[in-house]
Amino acid sequence: MNHIINTFNWVKKDYKSHPLRFAVEFTAWLITIACSVVMAITVPNPPLFELYIVWISVCAMYTWAAWTRGSFGMLANYIALTLIDSFGLYRIIITG
């Protein structure tokens, strides 16, 4: 039970320290869950073009959040994911 209370207090502290970043990260998290659900429901033919656009936007949101948090690992991860997914979107566009 102590872990739950500590986690709740950590979330409150994070919100109070930077409410905009908290809102951006929470929104990005909700969108990633929605993308995963859409992907799972539409397999084997998911709408990759649309999902890539949304996912790249979410990665950019997470990149900004990582930058403001001062988290190098998250920053490097989301920059890499943004670049990889942008390349995937580019390939979808050029191959029709």
Q: For 50-82, write each residue's pLDDT tens digit.
A: 999 999 999 999 999 999 999 999 999 999 999
Over residues 31-59, the mean pLDDT reads 96
pTM for this one?
A: 0.87
Amino acid letter, residue 68: T
Is the pLDDT score of 94 beyond 90? Answer: yes
| Tokens coding 4 | 């739950």
Domain range for 7 is 2-95
H helix or E strand, kind and range, residue 1: none
User: Tokens representing 47?
Assistant: 């709408």
Residues ≥6 apart with Cβ < 8 Å to 61: 24, 25, 27, 28
Look at residue 83 in the predicted model and tell me its pLDDT.
96
The SS3 assignment for 71 reads coil
| Tally of domains in the chain | 1
Q: What is the reported pLDDT for 96?
A: 77
Residue 85 near residue 55 (C-beta atoms within 8 A)? yes
